[in-house]
Amino acid sequence: MADRPTLTTTAGAPVSDNQNSRTAGERGPVLMDDYQLLEKLAHQNRERIPERVVHAKGWGAFGILKITGDISRYTKAKALQPGTETPLLLRFSTVAGELGAADAERDVRGFALKFYTSEGNWDLVGNNTPVFFVRDPLKFPDFIHTQKRHPRTNMRSTTAMWDFWSLSPESLHQVTILMSDRGLPVAPMYMNGYGSHTYSFWNDASERFWVKFHFKTQQGHKFYTNAEAEALIGKSRETYQEELFGGIERGEFPKWTVQVQIMTEAQADQTSYNPFDLTKVWPHGEFPPLEIGVMELNRNADNYFAEIEQAAFSPSNVVPGIGHSPDKMLQARVFSYADAHRYRLGTHYEALPVNQPKCPVHHYHKDGQMNFFGQKTGNVDAYYEPNSFSGAAEQPSAKEPPLKLLGDADRYNHRLGNDDYGQVTALFNLFDAGQRSRLFSNIAAAMDGVPGEIIERQLVHFQRVHPAYEAGVRAALKEAHGYEASAISQEEKGVAAE
Ligand code: NDP
Ligand code: HEM
């Protein structure tokens, strides 16, 4: 026993017996003064924190970003200068499933990055898809409700999903990717990551550029068919954790090539689509991806709860040289994540070791529950600002260039004047016969139990992408469920004119 550390109370005193409760006589009862028993039970009752409201099931690891290209003319961000290496945390996730969900479920995958840069944490909280289901943040909670459980049945509802999607044609691009092969990757290392939104770069001369981030898997794309995933889930629900954690333990370090697409402010006025619309990509032909570096995962967390579950990513975390954009979804996310963290983890979530920046931190926030770091102002007498006691002061060089805004404040109909079909057609045209056939059957499977009028409404959207899309899904529906077309009018389908 000599080489084992002494078990102590949380207050540091040695514990004499961790096997037997303190009782009145050999047969009991237990005495109220057995504080170690009470404390053990009380701690156990507090072991769970709220799971993330979305993206609850996740897998993560630490690694490094190495910059090999030169984009210094676009951004002054130190982490993006040639030759720079920045430590990072990457957490992957599924969106809809709860904490105990099976890993190999068809869903969009989260791709959340925290770069511990020398100028503060930069979080790029993306997905494995370049676009998203909605383009107005007012619709995000509604969309998520369709992915979660029905209030009465407490089961997930295919009707809710297709009802919402068929009434929201902006979802079609993301729905097509979700139902394609890339909607069910074999493991996190076999998929791309995308920043998805348009962000901005700004340089030393205070010039702004719009930017999209891409992380291309070097392991190649690998996916499961629905049938393979169903068989797999019967054997193991933790296949992503097994592959990611196991691979890194064996020294197999997954890598991604890092690319950016750059658009000037002048170009943004000339694109045929809104470059700040999260349901659109920037075609590579128009905005070629520039390779800027490589990202590698090479270290597992030692404690999943402390380092992955307590990780708090937020699109609000940017550093000088990187900024946001007019994307409406992005503004909502800038608010939403830090708010979620204060609820899920507490006021001082940024001070938890996994979230702590690896550079000096100075601020005037004060006190609050679980403040374990004291004062961060640089001087004990400086607990307000401005002050005469050498407390931390603002840094004007971190100021973003001004952003020109145009137009009256109003609620603009985001469904007017946006082509929801053209880019989906470009994607559909990339699919070979096998990919198309799996797309059709995946959609048919996901439509099980959906009322005919909702199916017909959705088929109109597929038809607008490509007649073969509609015909393929219709045939797959017939094969899977014996589905026959419902005789309902265009008006009854409730689809707006194209
Ligand atoms: P390109 O042919 O230049 O780009 C095609 C892109 O699509 C590549 O990045 C490729 O990713 C990806 N891709 C290829 N096959 C599939 C697939 N089966 N499922 C999903 N993605 C696939 O054309 P465009 O840039 O004009 O884009 C055409 C369509 O491709 C878009 O409408 C969009 O749906 C999709 N796409 C476009 C992206 C972009 O940023 N422009 C990014 C991802 C998808 P990879 O190199 O990894 O094979
Ligand atoms: C997680 C909100 C859109 C990617 C979350 C969480 C919230 C949220 C509240 C849980 C955070 C936590 O508890 O830690 C929103 C809102 C959105 C939106 C309000 C739109 C208005 C998006 C988009 C993407 C995305 C467009 C990707 C491009 C993620 C990822 C996570 C997440 C990856 C998990 C982060 C992690 O690993 O901890 N989102 N989200 N979300 N979201 Fe979103």
Query: 398: closest CA among 120, 197, 165?
Result: 120
ipTM value > 0.95: yes
User: pLDDT value at position 496?
Assistant: 73
- 391 pLDDT higher than 80: yes
Both 11 and 104 in one domain: the answer is no
Is there an atom of ligand 1 within 6 Å of 257 CB?
Answer: no
195 C-alpha to center of ligand 1: Å? 14
Both 323 and 439 in one domain: the answer is no
Under the banding of pLDDT at 50, 70 and 90, the label for residue 40 is: very high
Which of these three, 334, 351, 368, is where a domain ends? 351
Both 305 and 327 in one domain: the answer is yes
User: pLDDT value at position 498?
Assistant: 74
- 1 pLDDT higher than 70: no
Place of tokens 């002061």: 393
475 C-alpha to center of ligand 1: Å? 26
- 489 pLDDT higher than 70: no
Whether 396 is covered by a domain: the verdict is no
Both 439 and 466 in one domain: the answer is yes
Both 183 and 242 in one domain: the answer is yes
Whether 358 is covered by a domain: the verdict is no
**What mean pLDDT comes out for the span 482-486?**
87
Q: Is the dihedral of CA 338, 340, 341, 346 positive or negative?
A: positive
Residue nearest to atom 4 of ligand 1 (CA): 284
Cα–Cα dist 294/447, whole Å? 39
User: pLDDT value at position 6?
Assistant: 96
Is there an atom of ligand 2 within 6 Å of 54 CB?
Answer: yes
- 490 pLDDT higher than 80: no
Both 486 and 426 in one domain: the answer is yes
Pairing of β 290-299 and β 58-67:
antiparallel
Tokens coding 436: 């198309």
Contact 90, 161 (CB under 8 A): no
Both 187 and 315 in one domain: the answer is yes
Cα–Cα dist 318/135, whole Å? 22
Note if 55 is an active site residue: yes
Please give the model's pTM, rounded to 2 decimal places. Answer: 0.97
Whether 346 is covered by a domain: the verdict is yes
Both 254 and 323 in one domain: the answer is yes
Residue nearest to atom 35 of ligand 1 (CA): 427
Whether 144 is covered by a domain: the verdict is no
> Alpha carbon 69 to chain centroid distance?
26
Give 213-252 pLDDT, tens digit per residue: 999 999 999 999 999 999 999 999 999 999 999 999 999 9
Query: 207: closest CA among 109, 73, 384?
Result: 73
**What mean pLDDT comes out for the span 378-398?**
95
Whether 404 is covered by a domain: the verdict is no
Tokens coding 158: 């295919």
User: pLDDT value at position 485?
Assistant: 83
- 495 pLDDT higher than 90: no
Cα–Cα dist 427/283, whole Å? 11
Whether 412 is covered by a domain: the verdict is no
- Residue 428 belongs to what domain range? 422-497
Which of these three, 326, 351, 376, is where a domain ends? 351
Contact 189, 244 (CB under 8 A): yes
Is there an atom of ligand 1 within 6 Å of 216 CB?
Answer: yes
Is there an atom of ligand 1 within 6 Å of 330 CB?
Answer: no
Count structural domains, the chain.
Answer: 3
Output the domain CATH number for residue 339.
Answer: 2.40.180.10
Contact 259, 214 (CB under 8 A): yes
Note if 197 is an active site residue: no
Residues 290-312: b if buried by 16+ CB within 10 A, e if exposed: bebbbbbbeebbeeeeebbbbbb
Whether 286 is covered by a domain: the verdict is yes
Both 10 and 125 in one domain: the answer is no
DSSP letters for 102-123 = -SS-SS-EEEEEEEEETTEEEE
Both 15 and 66 in one domain: the answer is no
Both 201 and 345 in one domain: the answer is yes
Whether 387 is covered by a domain: the verdict is no
Contact 294, 255 (CB under 8 A): yes
Is there an atom of ligand 2 within 6 Å of 313 CB?
Answer: yes
Determine the 3-state secondary structure of 30 from DSSP: strand
> Alpha carbon 190 to chain centroid distance?
17
Which ligand ends up closest to the CA of 56? Answer: 2
Write 398-403 long-range contacts (CB < 8 A, 24+): 398/320, 400/202, 400/208, 400/323, 401/202, 401/206, 401/207, 401/208, 403/208, 403/326
12 C-alpha to center of ligand 2: Å? 39
Is there an atom of ligand 1 within 6 Å of 311 CB?
Answer: no
User: pLDDT value at position 212?
Assistant: 98
Residue nearest to atom 8 of ligand 1 (CA): 284
Place of tokens 């981030």: 213
> Alpha carbon 72 to chain centroid distance?
27
Residues in the chain: 498
Place of tokens 């054997």: 235
Which of these three, 327, 351, 375, is where a domain ends? 351
Both 334 and 245 in one domain: the answer is yes
Give 344-373 pLDDT, tens digit per residue: 999 999 999 999 999 999 999 999 999 988
Give 78-103 pLDDT, tens digit per residue: 999 999 999 999 999 999 999 999 99
Pocket mutation for ligand 1, best pick of 284, 435, 439 (most atoms within 8 Å of C-beta) = 284
Which residues face 90 on adjacent strands? 61, 113
427 C-alpha to center of ligand 1: Å? 7
Cα–Cα dist 332/336, whole Å? 6
Backbone angles phi, psi at 475, to 5 degrees: -65, -40
